[in-house]
Structure 1
Amino acid sequence: MKLEQCVNATTCLPRTPKVARVKRGASANT
């Protein structure tokens, strides 16, 4: 289990977890 690559328990990506987090945050904020 790679918790470092997991942004949230429901959002686990194979790589660049920060990018996904920013994308989701930007979409929600914008």
Structure 2
Amino acid sequence: MELNSEAIIVIIVATVIGILQLRKETKPQM
């Protein structure tokens, strides 16, 4: 069960980072 929680957290973090990177590349804003 712990692996599931860690995997979910990793996926969420990776998704957020990916979205932030895409937004930064699309619109270079601070």
TM-score for both structures, normalised by structure 1: 0.48
Structure with higher Rg: it is: 2
Q: Does 1 or 2 have the higher relative contact order (CA < 8 Å, sep 6+)?
A: 1
TM-score for both structures, normalised by structure 2: 0.48
